[in-house]
Every structure is written in C-alpha cells, then in structure tokens.
Structure 1
Amino acid sequence: MARRRGPARTVDPTELGTYQQAVRRVLTHDLITAARPRPGVLDQVLRWADQMAEDLRSLFGYTLIATTAHVRLVRELDELDPTQRQVFSRKGRPFDRRRLAYLCLLLAAFQRSQIEISLGDLVRQFTPSANAIEGLGYDPTDSAHKAALVDAAHWLLDRGALHLSDGSLEAWARGHDQADALFDIDHEICEILFRPARPVQHLGSVTGLLSDAPGGQNRERAAQRARRLLVEHPAVYYADLEPEVAAALRGRGVAEEVARVTGLKVERRAEGVLLADPAGNFTDRSFPGRGGAVTRAAGLLLAQIATLFEESWAALAHLDVPSCAREHADLVRLVDAGLPRHGVVGELAWTGSGDAPAAEAPPGESARMPLVERGRLEAMVADLFDEFGAASFTNAWQQDPRGLLDAALALLADLRLVRPVPGGVLVAPAALRYRNIQGALPEREDTGLLPLGPLTEDSRADAPAAETETAETAEASAPEADAAPDPAPYETEGTR
C-alpha cells in the first residue's frame, strides 16, 4: 500500500502560516460565505481549497465542499458530543429540542421550485407539519413557540440560506398587524447545510450517523481517531481512549501532523495531549477572556479550587472517573429512546458501528480525579461574593449565588474542565491551567462588571492559557492584562 504523503506538501514554506490560518478558519466555522464570518475570508480559504481538501481527507476523513460561493466542511463523527449543539445556537444560547425541530421543518418546507417565499406562506406550510408531531406543535398565539420559530429563521438568515428582501422578521415576531417578510431562498446552501451521513428517516439508532470505522480497528484508523479528537476537544486524556488510540497519540507523528496543518503547538503531559493556540482564535468559545458573570465566576472558582488543592491535596477524596465509553452508551440509549418508530422501513434501517457492546468497552487505562464536594463549592462562591461584593455579579445573580454556581459548573463541564458526579464535581487536570486567575478590578467607574486577569505580583509570569471546547487552548486575553502560557498547564501532584 502506498505511503500517505505528509500534510501541506505543496505549500511553500514562506506561505505555510497563511495556509494554516485558512485551515483554522474551515475547522472553526460551519459555513463560510462571501459575508460570513466576514468579507474576504472566503477568498483566503478558496485559494487553498485543493490542498486543504486533500489534507483534511487524509488526516481526518473529512470532506471539504468548496464552490465559488461557499465552503463547508463535512465532518465524520466517532462519538456523540453534547457540546456539538453549540453549532445550533443564537446569541450564544444553544437551541433546545423545539428550535432544532422547527429548523428541520423549515428546511423541509422549501420547495426546489421556489425562488422566494413570504413569512406568512412559510408559516402556513410549516404549521401542519409541526402540529402533526406529537409533543411539538405550533401555536401562533404562544410566545414561546413564536420565539423558537424566529430563532430558527435567524439561524438560516445568518448562514445565507434565506435572504431578507422585504419586510421585517422582528416586526412579525412582535405581533404588529399585517407585518410580514419576504425571503429569497438559496437552495444550494440549504442543501449543504443538511447533509446527514444517511437518510435520517430510516435510522434504527443515532449511531447510524457516526463513522463506520471504530477507532481501534487498525493502526491507521486509530491514528485518524486520535487526530479527530485533537481538533474536537480541548485536551485529550489517555485514560479516556481505547488502547490503540492512546498508543497512536503517545507516539510521535500524529499530533505533529495536526500541528503542521493547523499551526497549533503540541503540549504533552503525563495525562494526555492538547494543542495550544498562541493566537487565541482557534475556538468556538473563549475562556476566560471577556465574559459575563457566569464566565467570570467560573474562572474565579477554578482559582479557588487550585488553592484548595495546594492546601489540602492529601485530604481530598480521589474517585475513579466515569468511563467515557459508558457515558456515551448511556447518551446513545437516551437519544434512541426518542426516535420515532412509525414509518421506518426495516430493510433500510441503519444502526451503524456504535452498538452498545462496543460502546461500553472499557478504556485501556484507569484514571482518578480529585472530588470537590458541593458544600465546598458553595462556600467558595460565598467567599467570592464576600470578597468582590454581590453587585459585582450583576443583578441577575447577586441574590442567587447557588444559581450562579450551577451555571458556572455547567460551563466548566461544557469545557470538559470538571466532570459532574453525585455530590460534587471531579476536577480534570486541564483545570489547573487557570490556577493563577484573580479578579482584576478596574480603576474606573464601577460598571458592575468583574473582569479577570492573571496574577502579576511576585513575578508570577506563568499565568494560564485559555482553554476552549474545541480541540485547542487559547491564550487568555483579560481586560486588565494578557495571560502568558503556563509551563505546566495540566499537571497535578503525583503525575510526574
């Protein structure tokens, strides 16, 4: 069998940085058009389309769709991941099940013969389909239903599947008399936005949407799975992987190939591997950076946890980490429980390779993480309220510290920095990247905002780099100071 050629083989060394930037654009944007994410990006990406298509197919098994009008990367997924819902969101709020269902029904309502459609006609076509689904429905007098429809329509507008040529969607949403809107339909974008691996109406299990080839099937498949993990997750831990995939990740070559094509930096530690991004833009969610009260509270909470580790490491309970394979199997069963059985053609049904026995196979290594109990976490948030004042956490949370704690822990779980368990959370090694975070109180009029910054006293130049929920860690850019890379970003006591 011919040996696979290295990535970026036709790229001139003087232009490698430009090529890597184009690859990062494709990996971090679900769709690139002349206007999205901003003018000029499409031309930069199209210049390297042929080489990118070859590298992304060879390294990850991904398919790059590139035309003169848009670029879309079609990923192959090895596992379900709750954070993937961030693709379907508006103003940072992920879609719930109603919004996802409405989005699919809107796409289904577009006829190929239609060039344009009014909002009134679209709603008239959409309503019977929604009402035919038990538990869904659409009631035009229900403000929650109307808001969900507006969010789904805006998602299509943002990606150019619809173009507003007249009227106002907001006026219609506010219930103004005779308000309407006229949309032009871009059927080409609609087609590339909805590209399931197989016909969804005949799936016997959600695993039918996953990659056919298990990660440990052979050496190349294991290496491919390892590469996908590196670009999909903030940090990849050996203990979460099948033995073949862990071996591929430990060896030299797999992470370095991804680093060459993306321009990221490989960081290896006792627990696993991550890709760090000095530029801080290879992400779909920056952390900590500039954010709301929840983001700030989450960052300060990590600093409190780090202090606890320094003072009481030996006294902390260390528990076995729940198996990622078993958690995935549980998620598959949960999704499959909601699949409709009516109308499925058995002969066409597809279940994929992720059946329950394979999904529940134990990982190759065991892992233990320190447990921080719920009571300790509540005391930490109380300390933050005492130190910075309740007003620093905005009106939404100043009377609800426990609610703020729940929201902060949900964010940290999304970033894979903690693992919720009954009675508290298990703290992942990568969380220790943020051990130097402190509140950076500005010397200006109090606006109710509490920015974050690294410690600068006592020559503490080892502030943590920011980590995100894709496969990279970005440098933390706080309002009061920049964060420098941490020389030991996710090494905890006893790991050397």
Structure 2
Amino acid sequence: MEQHEYATGAGKARGRTGSGRAGGAGQLTAQPSADLYPAAQELAARLAEAAPQAAHDLFTATFGLYGARHLGGAPDPADPAAATTSWWHGPTAHHSAVLRTRPQRYRRGRRDAADQGVPGAGGSSGRHRKPERPRGPDEPAVAVERRTAARLLLAQPLVTGGGPHAAGFPLIRRHADWLAERFEQVLGYRLTVAGRYARLQKAPLPGRALPGFEPATYACLVLALGALADGRAPDLEHPRALDVLKDWQVVGHDPHGLVVDRELAAALAPAAPLAAAGPELAVRRLLVETPVVLLDELRPAEREWLLRRRGAEAVLFADFLGLQTEARAEGVALIDPAGELTDLALPGTGTLAQAALLLVQALVEELRPLPEDTAPPAVLIPDALIDGALGDVTDDHGLRAGWSPEYLADRPAFRRDVLDLLARMRLIVPAGRAWLLRAPAARYAPAADPEPEPRSGRHSRPQDCGPGRPE
C-alpha cells in the first residue's frame, strides 16, 4: 500500500517549478531565478533531520528523477494465456531467463552497482536504443519517433543536449508539445523542454534511493544544487554529491577547471508538487514505473478501473511506450521486450541478477501451489529454503559463471543483496522478518510439474509441506 500512496502523487515537496508554461509543457521555460538558496536550505534541513527511509522518500518526492522499472523476458506468444490464468500456472518466460555472459550495459564501479545493474544517479550510461516493438507497415515515422522519445524520457527523466543520451534529445525537442500533452494526459507528469535540456517531473515513488546516500548526503547535494543555481560558491567536498551533480551534467570540467550549468541547476530546483491523482492516474503510474501491480494491493475503485480497462490500456501503452501487457488473475505487468526500459534488469547480467533468477526459479519449484488448489497472490518462504536453494545454485553456477569472488566469500552479504534485488523487482516482499514469494515470480520458472521432484542439492534441507502440498 505504501507504493500506492505515492503513486497518487500526493507529495509534499516544496519549491519552485522550472516551467514557464501552464502545466510545465512545451518548449517555453523560465530563465534561472534568484533566491533559490533559502528554499534549498530549508529542504536540506528537513533531509538532514529525517530518518534514512524518510530521507530517501522525501528526496524522490522532491525531484522525481528516477527511472522506470520493468520485468524482462516475455512468454512465448504462441502460448497465450487468459487474464483469468494465474501466474503460478500460466505461460512462463523461462526460455529467455538464461545466464548471460556478455553484459549489455555493464558499468564498472562498486560491487553493488556492477552486480545489480544499478546505474548511477543519472541512470544507465548506454545509448537509448529504439524500442523492440517494430514499426508496422502502415505506421508513420513520426509515431516511431514519438515513442522513442517517450521511452527515453521515462527511462531518463533528465536528458541534455550534451549528455550521454544526447542522440535522443533532438527527437524530444521536435515532439516537445506532443510529448508534454501526452505525459500530462496519460500520467499526470510535467515535462519541461528548453534549448539544452528536457526534464520530466514524475510523481513520488518509494524505493528509488540514490545508492549509498544517507540523510546528510542528501542535504549536501541539495545545498550544493541550490548554491549553484543561485550563483553562490557551493560546497563540493562530498564525493557522492559531486558524482550526482556530474551525472546530472550540472557540473563538469574543461581545461580551465570546473564548469557550472547554472540554468540546469535552477531547472532542477524543487518543483511544485504534482496534483493528487485519482484511480486512473494512480494505477497508470504504478504500471509504467513498477515491475508488477497486484489487484489485492489496489483500492476498490482502482481495482475496478483496472479490470474494466485492461484491454484499452494494453493498446495505449503499446502505442505510447512499446510495452507489452501481461495480464493474469493476480494482476498486471507491463513487460519491455527490449529489456532496456528499466533501471534494474531481470533477467540481467552480473552476479546478483544471475543468482536472483536462479534462486527465484528454485523457490517457485518448491512453493508453487498445485493447480487444483486456490492460487494465492503470495506464499510464505521458509527461511531455511532460502539458504539451501541459494547454496545449491551458488555451488552449481558460481565458479562456472564467474560470479564475484567477494560475494562467493561473503555468503551473508550475498544473501542480503540477492533478496534485496528480488524485493526491488517486486518478486518477493518482506513480511516482518520473513519473506513472501509473489505469484509473478513463477513467470521465470519452468512450467508447473504435476509432481515436482524434491531438491537434492547438498544445501537443500527438508521442508514442511508448502501450500497445497500433500503431507
């Protein structure tokens, strides 16, 4: 429900907007304004005094510069499933859930960043390719350009003419008015496009913290940004804050020293919060930003709207963003066949992504309800099963797949980070000190076996009978 509360857009961010047109649409933008520093000081004080999770949420609510997150791998189109079919027993994407040995968007850095596929504050460093959905024989080129630009903005809410995604910036400028109107109508987002940058302001969403940031780090970043926007001398001594400003292209270096883009710094100042969303916008925001939406997590009005609109929304998001709708009895997921419209990749490359995929397959095979039983949206995972299954997949694949020696030598950290990745992809969720395995996890496991064989790895331990299993 926490994620739902934020999807309604009822944020508490305060400050000025960088737009000069009603709704922040189009290419007309305000010039950098003075006196932004006092507002930055006020926000920095709130961040510094907040608890860690509250600071993460406040920062995300204020800036909205997070990337979309989607599951990858689509089931075989030749094996369709009705929307009344459970994820536990429906078609799977297991055929595409294989270990990848050539990273597509590998980025060297800290262990967690490299292995989880977690990009820096500015997102993935790779060029944004065209969407997987091909251009139809009668589809005009302008529709393809608009979809490409919209996908880029959803993945990278800040795009500059000289940044890593500069190749897509001309498309954004060319279709700025259409994009601004479409994002406002479909998602209630505010798009600002200027001569050298485009910024999409998203609704607040939890769970999108900057890696390694603490309340004091957020406060340093906000103060530095406010100082730069106001023409003051910033404190750039904190390395993580400086890295983010570089990723945002607010600061850089040339042969003469530090270069500051004060116009961009002002444009990134805290903007006016988006209006609170009704059922339509709240559900759409969850669909396009989060891996999966379960019906039992929605309010009654939202659940009714989604059930009634599933078919129409599938067409809308295929045309607008090139996303494929996967509707099941438990809920809906928007799948990106290209595997690029996400800030975390699953299936993906690196130790954590590979181990997480293998672990979730093992958990599903052990805990999947039998076809004749009621299919719940989630089942409890015995703690010993996690340890045993992760030990088995590590022994079977760790050395052969070249997994991180640091993780292989530090199993508690390995377990923690694998579970964290699966939680961020919404395939498992915490339940007190335990974990629940959610039905969408079954899309990555082999098709259900009427009589699954018990696991025989040396780490596997006898388990109590799972839900629906005979004693």
Q: TM-score band (shorter)?
A: 0.5 to 0.7
2:206 pairs with 1:81: yes
Q: 1:370 to 1:408 in 2, by over 3 A?
A: same
Within 5 A, what are the aligned runs for 1:457-476? none
Is residue 2:395 matched to residue 1:386?
yes
Change in 2 beyond 3 A, CA 1:280/1:394? closer
1:259 aligns with 2:384: no
Percent of aligned positions that are identical: 27
Q: State the shift of 1:313 in Å.
A: 5.2
2:299 corresponds in structure 1 to: 242
Q: Distance in 1 between matches of 2:391 and 2:290?
A: 31
In structure 2, how many angstroms separate the alpha carbons of the residues matched to 1:43 and 1:94?
Answer: 33
Q: 1:94 to 1:12 in 2, by over 3 A?
A: farther
Q: Deviations over 1:321-353 (max 9, x none)?
A: xxxxxxxxxxxxxxxxxxxxxxxxxxxxxxxxx
Structure 2: how far apart are the matches of 1:164 and 1:190?
16
Secondary structure, counterpart of 1:283 in structure 2: coil
Matched-pair contact (CA < 8 Å) for 2:317–2:324? no
Alpha-carbon shift at residue 423 of structure 1 (Å): 4.8
Work out which of the residue numbers 233, 254, 263 in structure 2 matches 1:188. Answer: 263
1:106 aligns with 2:181: no
CA distance in 2, matches of 1:185, 1:290: 35
2:242 corresponds in structure 1 to 153
Name the residue aligned to 2:382. 373
- Counting only pairs closer than 5 Å after superposition, residues 110-259 of structure 1 correspond to structure 2 as 110=228, 112-113=230-231, 122-123=234-235, 149-166=238-255, 182-197=257-272, 211-213=274-276, 215=277, 221-252=278-309, 253-259=312-318
Give the corresponding residue for 2:197.
70
Between the aligned partners of 1:295 and 1:158, the Cα distance in structure 2 is 24
Asked if the contact 1:28–1:283 (Cα under 8 Å) also holds between the matched residues in 2, the reply is yes
RMSD (CA atoms)? 3.1
Shift of the alpha carbon at 1:107? 1.5
Any stretches of 5+ residues in structure 2 without a counterpart?
1-137, 448-466
Counterpart for residue 23 of structure 2:
none
For 1:165 and 1:12, the matched residues in 2 are separated by: 44
Judged with a 3 Å threshold, the aligned counterparts in structure 2 of structure 1 residues 212 and 51 are, in CA distance, closer, same or farther, namely: closer
For 1:423 and 1:111, the matched residues in 2 are separated by: 44
8 Å CA contact retained: 2:251, 2:258: yes
Alignment partner of 1:427 is 2:437: yes
Bigger radius of gyration among the two: 1
Q: CA deviation at 1:195?
A: 2.4
Q: Deviations over 1:60-81 (max 9, x none)?
A: 111110012110001233xx41
8 Å Cα contact 1:317/1:371 also seen in 2: no
Structure 2 equivalent of residue 286 of structure 1:
345
1: CA distance, partners of 2:146 / 2:252? 31
Whether 1:409 aligns to 2:404 is no
> Could you tell me how far apart the structure 2 residues matched to 1:63 and 1:35 are?
22
Query: How many Å apart are 1:411 and its aligned residue?
Result: 0.9
Q: Is the strand fraction higher in 1 or 2?
A: 1
The 3 A distance-change label for structure 1 pair 166 and 424 is: same
SS in 2 for 1:40: helix
Deviation at residue 185 of structure 1 after TM alignment:
2.0
Tell me how far 1:427 sits from its aligned partner. Answer: 0.9
CA contact (8 A) 2:229 2:266 kept: no
Equivalent residues of 1:317, 1:370 under 8 A apart? no
Task: Write the deviation string for residues 147-181 of structure 1: whole angstroms up to 9, x where unpaired.
Answer: xx1121121122221122357xxxxxxxxxxxxxx
Structure with greater contact order relative to length (CA < 8 Å, sep ≥ 6): 2
Between 1:23-32 and 1:260-269, the stretch displaced more is 260-269
Q: Distance in 2 between matches of 1:20 and 1:67?
A: 20
Please say if 1:43 is aligned against 2:151.
no
1:68 and 1:428 map into 2 onto residues whose CA distance is 45
